[in-house]
Amino acid sequence: MASDTWLIAGLGNPGSRYRHTRHNIGHMVLDELVDRMDAKYTRTKVGAQVVAARLGLGGPKVVLAVSEGYMNTSGKPIRGLIDYFDVDPARLVVVHDEVDLDFGRIKLKRGGSEGGHNGLKSITQHLRGDRDYIRVRVGVSRPPGRMETADYVLQKFSPDQADELPQLVQRAADAVELIITEGLTGAQNTVHQA
């Protein structure tokens, strides 16, 4: 029987080159959650950096994780962490960039398609086709004109977006905490009204 631990995975790419790009908003949200816990990541043998803690005093057990590999290989370390910490895949929360949402919007859902997102595709593949995990979709907007989506998400935020980015990251981190404390439906009721 799986434990009651939650695994929160923030998607992105490693290295300073990608640190402030749209594709790395998942990493930014996880960094915010780690800061809130006044913790530091530790490296694991599965290719991820993690913080294992409780959400609040005596609260639920959580593992916060960012992969040390690239977006399209996100599934392997997440699978390793699920196995190591005995996490029910239904308690996996993946935070990722979403081009189908306007910048600043956040949507929460369980399951569904990967929508062309290579990080989600990798996770679903390593979960043997199971799509029943929770997604925190953080809107980065569609690319302008005929720009390729892959090029767009690997660029830094525009100056106007960069000004609003800290608040967006905080709201996405709040959404993750709400999922854990209030459940997905309760979190949706709060986050989707904003």
Q: Which residues are catalytic?
A: 23
Tokens (6 digits) for 136: 């925190």
Provide CB contacts within 8 A for 71, sequence distance 6+.
11, 12, 13, 23, 118, 119, 122
- Sheet of 92-98: strand order equals 42-43, 48-54, 61-67, 6-10, 92-98, 134-139, 106-110
Among 186, 136, 184, 144, residue whose Cα is nearest residue 161? 144
Q: How many Cβ atoms are within 10 Å of 98's Cβ, its own excluded?
A: 22
Q: How many Cβ atoms are within 10 Å of 12's Cβ, its own excluded?
A: 27
d(CA 56, CA 53): 9
d(CA 188, CA 194): 10
Tokens (6 digits) for 172: 């996405």
